[in-house]
Amino acid sequence: MRNTPDAASFFAPTVLPDVAVFRFWGLGLLWASLLMDGLLFLFNGSFKWWLIFWGHKEVDAIVVQWAIPWSIATFALLLAGQRPCSRKQFVWLLGVGAALLLWLVAWDSYNFNQFSFSIKVNVFLLPLTIWLAGQAILSFCYARRDRGLMPVWVQPWLWLGIMIASLVVMASCLLELNSKLLPLTFDYFFYKIDQAFGGAARWAAMQVGQNQTHFFGKLTHEVYDILGVLFFPVLALIIGENKSRSLNVWRVLFVPYAVAAICYLCFPATGPGVAIMGYPATAAQPQDLTAAFVSVLPAPRNAMPSLHLSSAIWIFMLCASLRRKWIFALSVLFVLGTAWATLAIGEHYVIDLMVAMPFAPALGLFLMNPPRWKIAPRWQHYLQWAAGATFVLWMLLLRLAPDWLIAHPGTVQWLSVWSVAAGVLLLALHVRCVWREEDTNEVLLAQHQPALAPKPFSAPTFLPAELKGRRWLVGIFFFSGFAGLVYEVVYAKALGVTFGGTALAANTVLMTYMGGMALGAWLGGMLAERSARPLLLYAYFEAAIGLYAAITPSLFAGIQSLYVALALDAPPDAAWLTALRMGLGAVVLGVPTVLMGATLPLVFKCLQGMGIPTARAIAPLYGANVLGAAAGALVAGYALLPAVGRNGGTLLAAVISLLVALYVIEKIKQGGDRISANSSIFDSDSTAAAAPLVQSPGGRTGLAALAVLAVGGVVTLALEVVFMHLLAVVAGNSVYAFGLMLATFLLGLGLGSTVGEALMRRIDRATVVLAAQCGVALAILLTAFVWDGLADYMGSFAYAQQQGLYLSFSARELIRALVCALAMLPPAFCIGMSYPAAMGLAADWLAVRRFGGQAARGVGLASALNTLGNIAGVLLAGFWWLPQYGSNRVLLGLAVVAVLLAAFIAWAQQAAATTPRAPKQWLQPWLPVGGMAAALLLFPAQWNYTALSTGGNVYFYPQNWGEVIDHAESVEGGMTTVAQAADGKHLTLLTNGKFQGNNAEGGEMVAQESIALIPLMHQAWRDHALVIGYGTGMTARVLQDQGFAKLDVAETSRDIVTMADRHFSNINAHISSHPSVAMHYTDGRNYLLTQTAQYDLISLEISSIWFAGAANLYNREFYELANTRLRPQGVLQQWVQLHHMRPMDFLYILGSVRSVFKYVWIYVSGGQGIIVASNDDAAVHNEAALDKLMHSHAISTLKLPDLPQALVAGPQQIDALIARFDPQLRFFVSTDKNLYLEYATPKGNAMKEDGMPVLLDLLKGKL
């Protein structure tokens, strides 16, 4: 072995690696910290960057906080051998630092002696750091002035400081976030599993607990604390010896912590010091505790696996490459000391350390991948995989079978022995791979083993290299996707109030929208090949889309008038109405959707002209478009539509389209003088010459890819339908929740497409498609096991709220986003990964087979087929599969289809092979297919409907309705369930876990009956009534029992009626089949719009106003419509939510109804609010109506003479209240255009206290 260099060589001048490395990791960490800080802001309303670096009152504290990251960077810079100042300056500045340190220690200012050793080192370097900061600023200014270069140390020093500061913020945010996102922990399980180690963790904690102030206790804490500052000095030493690239130290520095963060989400645990009361001295024995999840006060969930021990192991692995025996010995002692410290201060259980032992060396070797490890014997790599498998096995056992591990301590012990042995052996093998200088030094490797020498650093890119300097072509597609999603949302809302809010009507609009896109893609392919300037044509199309959008508000008004004229008095379920809706939808949406669909082939043609292959040209365009759409879904739902309403959102999206068009036109003009250089961007003539020859993938492969696009299109939208159906149950069904679901799915598609493009540079397209389809099946299988758990997770926040944690609206939405991401991101990611590769294969095959090499036409036709598959997926999943088979079986069927598509691709690959293949090569594509087919046998037989129906998504605490005894699923009604209480008597009807009614005669039935009877105090006519919302059927039965000759019932969900008639016949008397009752399965507003019948009473008792679409029945336009369908003496009655209702929102409800009706009353009965409204003067004091009602009878225990006392506010009080805030009714009115109630009322669920008392005081004039 060569002589080891002495310590003095550490400070020898050296050349730092490319600044691009520092910039890449610095920017990455900075953006990651800003993202984490933004997420935490949703919980706290404050930013960690501000709190850590600016949140101090004392100026000196702020200076020190800012200086600490750069002090560590300064230390690292010195260790790397840089000389940022002269020797004299260096000695003088360190002397000042020493004096400052001695003064603080001597006088114990700021309790300085309580600080850790690492803080004291940073203070010692503080003067040097401040001096370097000044030098860096001056160097930057001089370089800008003189257009010169800065000293070599400046940028690495600045970026290192940014990295360290970002890591501090990111770690702080992560630990605080996971303490709030994960209310329950595994601590009791781990504490009991630790019995297998004979109480070793508790014994260690006892030793330090008894010696906190002694040297041993202080040393233990110092060892634990110093870890945070060791990585960068070690990194500097490795950089100084030219080993950073050969050992991939940068990714070792950051990637493991992302892996650990995921583990923390899956296995939240805080450690015994926090979770076990009285630990260690007076803690209960493990056998005395129940193995169960435990609610722990806010504390970091960072115990499993032990990242502290893992980090110490990674530091040891890096130190081994330095070949200095004293450093090596210290690193060994540091690993052992860290293991001791984690146990001794109560941060970890022994089981945390056992899991870390195989995890850290296996992951460290994978990330470092030393040159000699690449050529190591195969058995060593098998050992690495075995260690990784051991870690996974630990994770599975701890997650799925912790009770079994508790009952089998011998298994825990043997598996621990193996974990330690495998980890130690891997570490020994690693030391052998890095101990020799010539095995890690990049200069020596390049001289003696060039095949093992690392490649120069190049920042990863997710766009084709050919796009350099022209990435704006992808950027415009992002904004095009953003605007397109906003159009889709506002157009659906505009047509929803015309065609109705049923699933059939909504999907009719969606099919029309997507049908236009399909036609546009097909036409766009032809235009792209025929146009001399496809990019200019794209700009014209974007401009036309924007201009058309600007006039759509007028067009929608005309479409509504035409629809009403043609559909008037037609049966709401008439089949020809669907055709009419599609036809009228095509009239108003045909132009913009065809233009939108045509944009992809047009821009694709430009990218192809740059020499980018078909699939890799599609990937960035598709990815940018769907990522823009994801951003549009979030911005439209949370900011745009709540702020400016439907028409305002339309106009802003139109402005974006016009700006995109103008930007493209300007770019084309700028290229006019350089047309010879850039003609391939703007001219299709030169494009044809520059474009690479399209290579056909072969008949069977191309056909298989086309099948993946068409059938996979069915799977994609069917998955979206079913996942959104299930997420409405576990995450909620407000307009915000649906926006989150859509954004999450689109985000997954965009990210998958980006990764797919990168994969296509390394492996062939067919293999990417095969892997992605297997991934789709695997994702469906894995998510099938989390639905019950997600429902329980939403309810687990009850514990945190009981301990005083307030969940604001933004915090709740973040939790919903996490749930949506967990469920939807994996399958959407795999679908997005498959799309560009499959599209490229299909388009190239079509181009060669049908279009004479014109790839744009192939892209257009393939895209159209995919979109038609999407339409079929919506229809099949929504109206056949889901109601017929249920979500569980539909998901299993979709997973099977994904496996079959993968098998089709595998078969096509085999058939396309031109040379004989070895058995191993032949088996390769079939192994994942066969493995996934076998794995689907594990698919759960059914969901736990009782868990799904607990309603945790509403108020973030579970409601124990009882055992679910019956259920039905459909897109109209969601998941409708009937729960039976423990007494076996009381039944509750639920929709997506939200209460709809029960059969408690002395309870809810009183409220249900009073809702039907109270409006009858204001009118005596009993001819014709309309009930909107069937519920348990109580209201309809009461009205029929009161003598109404004819009764119309409008209900969107057949499941509600079926369940109510099956289980609540004792209170509804099968009213739906009564001869005088006509059932109409449509939404009430659309029914009133298309029917001319006049009513004496219109009664509404729909679900909560914050349900998506429910607010349409509280807008002024609905009240205007209802007024036209009431007879002169007619009365409107409407249930109004009082609980979890903000005063401002309640004022909007009152203002909306009062803007149409002259007289408005508010009653409260059974804890429920009831609006009664009429324009008939006789309704104010209708003695005849009251007398008639008093001489009738009640069905429940309701006492009729008590009904008048339920009045809280009459017309005078309502008018006086409105006059106080908005006498002209110019503001407190919710309309179809401003959408106020739809976007405001969901926020009421996040109120700290119930709003009902405040609303009652407001109505009574007490506020």
pLDDT tens digits along 530-577: 888 899 999 999 999 999 999 999 999 999 999 999 999 999 888 898
DSSP state of 1246: G
Name residue 837's beta-bridge partners.
none
pLDDT, position 53:
82
pLDDT tens digits along 808-860: 899 999 999 999 999 999 999 999 999 999 998 998 888 888 888 888 898 89
Q: Which amino acid is at 61?
A: A
**Residue 1129 in contact with residue 1176, Cβ under 8 Å?**
yes
- CA angle, residues 541, 543, 546, in degrees to nearest 5: 110
pLDDT, position 687:
41
> How many Cβ atoms from other residues are within 10 Å of residue 1022's Cβ?
17
pLDDT, position 1248:
83
Distance in angstroms (rounded) separating the CA atoms of residues 913 and 917: 8
1233 alpha-carbon distance from chain centroid? 28
Instruction: Give the CB-side neighbour count of residue 462, counting CA atoms within 13 A.
Output: 15
DSSP state of 1232: T
The domains spanning 472-692 and 698-964 adopt the same CATH topology: yes
DSSP state of 1168: E
DSSP 659-687: HHHHHHHHHHHHGGGGHHHHHHHH-HHHH
Backbone angles phi, psi at 273, to 5 degrees: -60, -30
Q: Which amino acid is at 1206?
A: A
Distance in angstroms (rounded) separating the CA atoms of residues 984 and 1001: 15
pLDDT, position 1228:
94
pLDDT tens digits along 247-279: 888 888 888 888 888 899 888 999 998 888 888
Backbone angles phi, psi at 1028, to 5 degrees: -105, 110
pLDDT band at 1 (very low <50, low <70, confident <90, very high): very low
pLDDT, position 423:
95
pLDDT, position 14:
46
pLDDT, position 59:
64
CB burial of 865-886 (b: ≥16 within 10 Å; e: otherwise) equals bbbbbbbbbbbbbbbebbbeeb
Q: Which amino acid is at 287?
A: Q
pLDDT tens digits along 299-330: 889 888 999 999 999 999 999 998 888 999 99
The pLDDT of 764-777, averaged and rounded, is 93
Close Cβ partners of 704 (under 8 Å, ≥ 6 residues apart): 766, 841, 901, 904, 905, 907, 908
pLDDT, position 562:
94
Burial of 141 (0-12, 13-18, 19+ CB in 10 A): exposed
The pLDDT of 109-131, averaged and rounded, is 76
Q: Which amino acid is at 1214?
A: I
SS3 369: coil
Question: β-pairing, 987-991 with 1046-1050?
Answer: unpaired
> How many Cβ atoms from other residues are within 10 Å of residue 647's Cβ?
17
Q: What's the topology of domain 472-692?
A: Growth Hormone; Chain: A; (1.20.1250)
Token readout for 328 is 């090596």
Question: β-pairing, 1207-1209 with 1159-1165?
Answer: antiparallel
The pLDDT of 994-1012, averaged and rounded, is 83
Domain boundaries of the chain, sorted by first residue? 1-181, 184-220+230-373+380-446, 472-692, 698-964, 1000-1259
Where do we find the tokens 């012990």? 413
- CA angle, residues 355, 357, 360, in degrees to nearest 5: 100
pLDDT, position 916:
61
* N- to C-terminal Cα separation, the chain: 87
Contacts for 1202-1206: CB closer than 8 Å, 24+ residues apart: 1203/1010, 1203/1013, 1203/1014, 1203/1017, 1203/1165, 1204/1017, 1206/1010, 1206/1014, 1206/1163, 1206/1164, 1206/1165, 1206/1170
pLDDT tens digits along 85-112: 888 888 898 888 888 888 877 776 666 6
Q: Is the pLDDT of residue 1077 over 90?
A: yes
* Lowest model confidence (mean pLDDT) among 20-24, 490-494, 1023-1027: 20-24
Q: Is the pLDDT of residue 689 over 60?
A: no
Distance in angstroms (rounded) separating the CA atoms of residues 363 and 358: 8
Whole-number average pLDDT of the chain: 87
DSSP state of 1197: S
Where do we find the tokens 């009831």? 1170
pLDDT band at 607 (very low <50, low <70, confident <90, very high): confident
Note the pTM of the prediction, 2 decimals: 0.91
Distance in angstroms (rounded) separating the CA atoms of residues 929 and 899: 6
Q: Is the pLDDT of residue 153 over 90?
A: no
The H or E element containing residue 567 is: helix 534-567
Where do we find the tokens 């953003």? 482
Q: Is the pLDDT of residue 245 over 70?
A: yes
Q: Is the pLDDT of residue 6 over 60?
A: no
Q: Is the pLDDT of residue 678 over 60?
A: no
Distance in angstroms (rounded) separating the CA atoms of residues 741 and 743: 5
The pLDDT of 435-458, averaged and rounded, is 82
The pLDDT of 685-709, averaged and rounded, is 66
Token readout for 839 is 């599209």
Instruction: Give the CB-side neighbour count of residue 1007, counting CA atoms within 13 A.
Output: 21
pLDDT band at 132 (very low <50, low <70, confident <90, very high): confident
Q: What is the CATH number of domain 698-964?
A: 1.20.1250
Burial of 559 (0-12, 13-18, 19+ CB in 10 A): buried
Q: Is the pLDDT of residue 742 over 60?
A: yes
pLDDT, position 1106:
86
Burial of 159 (0-12, 13-18, 19+ CB in 10 A): buried
With the C-alpha atoms ordered 1240, 1244, 1246, 1249, is the resulting torsion angle positive or negative? Answer: positive
> How many Cβ atoms from other residues are within 10 Å of residue 211's Cβ?
15
Q: Is the pLDDT of residue 1068 over 70?
A: yes
By residue count, the chain amounts to 1263
Task: Work out the percent of the chain whose per-residue pLDDT is above 70.
Answer: 94
Q: What is the CATH number of domain 1000-1259?
A: 3.40.50.150
Which is more confidently placed, 386 or 115? Answer: 386
Question: β-pairing, 1024-1028 with 1046-1050?
Answer: parallel
DSSP state of 988: E
Distance in angstroms (rounded) separating the CA atoms of residues 36 and 13: 37
Distance in angstroms (rounded) separating the CA atoms of residues 517 and 272: 58
Among 1068, 850, 1102, CA closest to 995: 1102
Q: Is the pLDDT of residue 9 over 50?
A: no
**Residue 563 in contact with residue 613, Cβ under 8 Å?**
no
Distance in angstroms (rounded) separating the CA atoms of residues 387 and 361: 8
* Lowest model confidence (mean pLDDT) among 460-464, 474-478, 1144-1148: 460-464
Burial of 103 (0-12, 13-18, 19+ CB in 10 A): exposed
- Dmax over CA atoms of the chain, in Å, equals 111
Among 595, 739, 608, CA closest to 657: 595
Token readout for 222 is 């110092």
- CA angle, residues 436, 439, 445, in degrees to nearest 5: 135
DSSP 313-342: HHHHHHHHTT--HHHHHHHHHHHHHHHHHH
Close Cβ partners of 785 (under 8 Å, ≥ 6 residues apart): 940
pLDDT, position 602:
92
Q: Which amino acid is at 1159?
A: Y
Distance in angstroms (rounded) separating the CA atoms of residues 1152 and 363: 61
Token readout for 871 is 């339409």
